[in-house]
Structure 1
């Protein structure tokens, strides 16, 4: 059982166009509305791709929050909704052929101290039988940067493993609380260490720096360059080429879900993560892949990766 925590969920509207031209009237080819937020997507992927038991702890507010609730219920996802005063945000993604996306994300509404306490209580109740708790996504305005660190300390004390998928100050603040896993992408990793990562060697060095600051394991998603896992067992890299990408939205969340579903350790878990992430890239909008969408034959695992390899994505 895996519990996800999303403090800043969203309604995600994805609009597909032939080409995005600034200042022009553009006719859309299609449009889709999905429930959004990193933790929400991880739970959706666990349900769709692996039928892994998961509960999404999520804040909901206003009519948008009710719509989010209905969308999640329609997918059959177990949800612990925490009502909040502010409204749930809406995000818009413009998707062009070839997987090029332009995203417009609202900041979200602030959460009060009482509302954060309600979330903590919901996490404690839902995680009693959990093997992992995953704190995912950006923080709403005004929420303390240390909220994920607090989550780590509380959940770890109960003997439950913790994964953090966030960025910026929230990610850095979580590291001293020793999360079992952090999952930055390339840009988030570079921001965390304060320097660019242009080669695989740079990724490994930066991941080791996050481990030195407290993270037990670091899973770095690298888009078309695949992913790198750095933990107590060493360094493993891999990729899963996609010939015709449609949307990268939610692909990193699917990758994390696959990794957790496969035990969160070693080459098998990394291979599953890559297969799930690649499947998400082949789908429109932020659809999460079902078992029939997931291809393991395209995954390549490198136990001795070429660290001089430049990153292209």
Structure 2
């Protein structure tokens, strides 16, 4: 009996195909393999088109940052001093650290796609900062803040390790996302397998395969960590500029929108623990607030900088 792939599995495979085709353009063998994969299930064509659209959006962001680098006159850049460095960072540019690492950053509501020197791809979400350092024996990424998705180029001689506070995530040739939170780190695996642990309890680790998610607390690491199966597409909705609310409290949902927008959403305390669901554009906090207020029996009050959800 033929077992049909899950929707999550098809979406993961589609994303991997888009990355592969982007790297080996006009290769007839790869094109034939892609055609065979697409013909194997009627759902794959739609998944592939969605993945292409997401990839193009990220390329557009990356090209915009590159254009800023090309068009900014050297004299003007030097005159900007510290302000210029901050502005460049907001555009997703990088600078070299004293240890030879490169720092990549995004501003509020921005996301960027970067191909690293080993061929891996890193997509940074809003308000993120990472430091990347390649050595002969390891590929190291420090997530100082925020969130990123990685498509790791295979190189068994050089493990790819992401650190987020004391949490470590190690992979070789796979795809996964890491989100740094206060006192914890979320890990979401889209293909392959990763190993995760905390430096505070280095002898205890957890292995995660495609479709699995986990939240590791800084203090306990893999100890008592609850692995969740599924929900990967919702967890990575940010890569499409979307936020999926699946039973979050209203306070948690407002905090999620505030990660992406200068216009902030606040919630009256009496409504903070009400549960909300929905699929929204990350850059439209006002629409979210109106819909959420209707769900919890409240209304919105608004000024130029804030939308308040109140009874």
Same fold by TM-score, threshold 0.5 exceeded?
no
Q: Bin the TM-score by the shorter chain.
A: under 0.3
Normalised to the residue count of structure 2, the TM-score between the two structures is 0.28
When Rg is computed on C-alpha atoms for both structures, the one with the higher figure is 2
Structure of higher RCO (CA pairs closer than 8 Å, 6+ residues apart): 1
Normalised to the residue count of structure 1, the TM-score between the two structures is 0.28
Greater fraction of residues in strand? 2
